[in-house]
Amino acid sequence: MPGQFEPLPGGGAAVALDDVEISIIRSLAVQLLELIGPGPGADASDDPLADLFAEGPSEPPADPVLKRLFPDAYIDPEGTPQAAEAEEQRAHSAEFRRFTENDLRAGKRENALAVVRSLDALASAGTGGAVLKLSAEESRQWLSCLNDLRLAIGSRLDIADEDDTDLLYRLPDEDPRKPMVMAYLWLGGLQETLVGTLLP
């Protein structure tokens, strides 16, 4: 079980993590929370219907990581549309973002918080690492958070496709990106084994 998720009887997954691994995942999840931003503050409405129709931002984020986490819905990154078509795509993307980004951020925030909470509970149980056991729902939250963490790190490493990933394997140890690359690859292994536990 070390380093990989295994299915639990009746659903869910388990993985053995040492203290360093717990610390790394927790730190990355907290950084993701800081990047996504806080949820509704004290001035949030008590009316759930009003919250449902609250509008979010219409412009894409400036930070490249947030752009990767919250991409435009109607713009084809591979295509080069004509000016009129591009303007129409931008307008549709802005409208879509305005009504969906708040919910997307809330979902990503909740998934990252679930990861932090489960690791905090694990760390408080003792020292020297432990076996993390997740329910089926917690497994889905972890999977989403691991995906977001890899997207964030991949964006910082300028990973655009599989060829870029292959180049990362050959980085020399003295390259300053090496620790981030190792985290990216390790999280990918965790993500892959967690997906395996969710398959029928």
User: What amino acid occupies position 30?
Assistant: V
> Which pLDDT value is given to residue 132?
93
pLDDT greater at residue 95 or residue 31 = 31
Cα(67)–Cα(72) distance, integer angstroms? 8
- Complete DSSP assignment for 21-41: HHHHHHHHHHHHHHHH-----
Which contacts (CB < 8 Å, 24+ apart) does range 174-178 have?
A: none
Name the pTM for this structure: 0.80
Percent helix, percent strand, percent coil in the chain, to nearest 5:
60, 5, 35
β-bridge partners, 132: 15
Question: pLDDT at residue 101 above 80?
Answer: no
Question: pLDDT at residue 27 above 80?
Answer: yes
Domain chopping of the chain, boundaries: 6-198
pLDDT, one tens digit per residue, over 108-161 is 999 999 999 999 998 776 656 789 999 999 999 999 999 999 999 999 988 877
